[in-house]
Amino acid sequence: MKNISVILYASDMGKGSKPAFQAAIHQAFLSNAQIIYLHVLESDAGTAEELINAYMPEAFNKVRLQNMYTELRKKIKKRLTDYHEEALIKQEMPNIPEPIIEVVQGKADRVILDTADRFNADLIVMGDRSSSSLARVFLGSTARKVIHHSNIPVLIIPLEAE
């Protein structure tokens, strides 16, 4: 296996995701690798969103969504930066390069793979919340899709289901 110099950590920012986060930090420490923190915003148009889209002008909706995603990106970047600093202090790992934080909208598995390609990542680290083997077989998880299509190693950390 080649040296690991760039690690893509894909996070859903959910409760219980810290084990995957800590695994990414640990791998970065072992390899003195750059970490790319990625959070994917998947559009989830529900009934309320459909009603807004049906009755409000398209230009208004576009601006509203852009503002919403801008604010969400700021909050997520702040949270990831705080987690990163906290983890480095607790684990006494000061020599990890400054992280790059990406918040991207799209389909999670596709965005993860595209981001890994864009940054020439050597490893993808992510958690998997699938509650059972049966769910993994029939429903397919983001982790399963990433593993299936990735050209680089993927480290999957089992997480508790939310």
pLDDT in tens, 85-94: 776 666 665 5
Residue 132: the pLDDT is: 60
Q: Output the average pLDDT for the chain.
A: 81
In the block, tokens 């508790």 appear at: 160
Distance CA 33, CA 24 (A): 10
Confidence at residue 139, expressed as pLDDT on a 0 to 100 scale: 46
pLDDT band at 4 (very low <50, low <70, confident <90, very high): very high
Give the per-residue pLDDT at 34.
92
Q: What does DSSP assign to residue 151?
A: S
Domain ranges (residues) in the chain: 6-158
Say if residue 25's pLDDT is above 80.
yes
**89's tokens:** 């202090």
52 versus 15: the higher-pLDDT residue is 15
| Residue predicted with more confidence, 157 or 105 | 157
Is 6-158 a CATH 3.40.50.620 domain? yes
pLDDT at residue 88, as a whole number:
63
pTM of the model: 0.77
Burial of 119 (0-12, 13-18, 19+ CB in 10 A): middle
